[in-house]
Structure 1
């Protein structure tokens, strides 16, 4: 199978089948989707400005460490970008990951009672407040309001061909996974299936439907931990 590097050799060793990204997904060139992203991200950043001080104080009082958690993720066509979230875990969470049992199947990590999550962090996750800094990624064009879950490097390095199909669209703050079980979906292949279903059903109206469903899921605190 012929492959080529998605990213420059300096930035990443990842390779994908040559055919995966040959035909652009219509969402990637949709003016309507981009306008929705800009409008939604501005609203999200305004909300972020209102909650930033109390959330930052709560994080600092709860556990030592920075306010934000930064991590490299991989987006449209495998391009790397950096996300920021409000920190919901202890400062050395990555170093402790190997000590925590993984309750998920496949290329994701989930543990319902993950001891690395702080008390404030559990609240931030249940309310999705930890995600609000990512509206900056949406405004800058690295992410979309609705898309696929942005993978980490330790996931992408193990991708098969059908996994790469997830990255034919921009990663999203929300998506099919978030409105169809969220953290209760523990099978990576199920997440891939949901991401690919989104690509099949996508229209600007479908994005709006998922956004409204996301608001309901957040207030109902469904599947979050």
Structure 2
């Protein structure tokens, strides 16, 4: 960050509204100073009540840019003001549509420009990271997901019976997670906890640092659930998420929305790729990782080192770890 040119966000005053000019790109390099420049507006007195972000030059925005924008939207709303985006171009609007931000943001077209309609399909090839647009990676995901779902179908009956006999309640557990660019989806697992696990979460001590939550001896986990977690069988239903394209076989750890709420702007970089059933965090200790900064470091290392061969290596390492009782998967 210190080696990159300083990014400027010129601000002008027009009819009691502040207009902030956005740069051509909104990656992490621009997102950090963007958040700071916006916060500086509220060091003034009186506070601005209406701010317009002029996006007419911007053609690229990644997850860090989204994170900074969401943070600044919350800031102005806390002060009772309004935020408007002007001149948003189609590639950026596609990202807003894909992440659901188009329903939360207010848009204004420039006099010579009509506001583009949201087109989520454009975002499918949005170049935040090479892995996202790799058709070979997607092909591997589809083949792997179909194979995994076949295995899941074979094991479904005995696992379902074991879960039901051990703890009354549903067989599957669904939880909202944040995927590529922060888009929310429901991840599926075989249920490994008691049915009131979410209500009892506040009673369990968190052993991890940062926004992550983990307790090695979590009392909410059932007896069958401990076996499912130790063998990673609880994660078999996630092959459905992979088949749907919400996840990949290999990627970053899929965070919960409350984790993302606590992210600083640079940490949003981990959402530039699809979340994975496995990844660096899985083969480097998984539950033995106690610090959120270590998770960030591993996720960014995956992005830097990514290749199809690297994915295959991580898949093979994961298979070896699943059969290792000391893998730390609890």
Q: Judge same fold: TM > 0.5, yes or no.
A: yes
Alpha-carbon distance between aligned partners in 1 of 2:103 and 2:200, rounded to the nearest angstrom:
26
Q: Tell me by how many angstroms 1:12 deviates.
A: 7.5
Q: Tell me, in whole angstroms, the C-alpha distance in 1 between the residues paired with 2:186 and 2:313.
A: 27
Establish whether residue 59 from structure 1 lines up as the match of residue 157 from structure 2: no
For residue 218 of structure 2, the aligned residue among 89, 114, 117 is 114
Provide the secondary structure at the position in 1 that maps to 2:239: helix
Corresponding residue SS for 2:296? helix
**Per-residue displacement from partner, 1:123-163 (whole Å, max 9, x unpaired)?**
00000000000001101111000001100011011111121
Any gaps of 5 or more consecutive residues in structure 1? 14-21
The answer on 1:8 being equivalent to 2:100 is yes
CA 1:70 to 1:203, structure 2 compared with 1: closer, same or farther past 3 Å? same
Are 1:101 and 2:227 an aligned pair?
A: no
Q: Following TM superposition, by how much is the alpha carbon of 1:11 offset from its aligned partner in structure 2, in angstroms?
A: 7.3
The residue that corresponds to 1:223 in the other structure is: 328
Question: How many residues are paired up?
Answer: 217
Q: Secondary structure at the match of 1:196?
A: helix
How do 1:183-194 and structure 2 match up within 5 A? 183-194=287-298
- CA distance in 1 between partners of 2:189 and 2:213 (Å): 17
List structure 1 runs of 4+ shifted beyond 6 angstroms.
10-13
Aligned 8 A contact 2:100 2:183 in 1: no
Higher relative contact order (CA 8 A, sep 6+): 1
Structure-2-length-normalised TM-score: 0.64
Task: Name stretches of at least 5 consecutive residues in structure 2 with no aligned partner.
Answer: 1-33, 36-67, 71-95, 106-125
Match of 1:70, SS state, is strand
TM-score w.r.t. the length of structure 1 is: 0.93
Partner residue, 2:184: 80
Find the aligned partners of 2:146 and 2:231 in 1 and give their Cα distance.
19
Q: CA RMSD in A?
A: 1.6
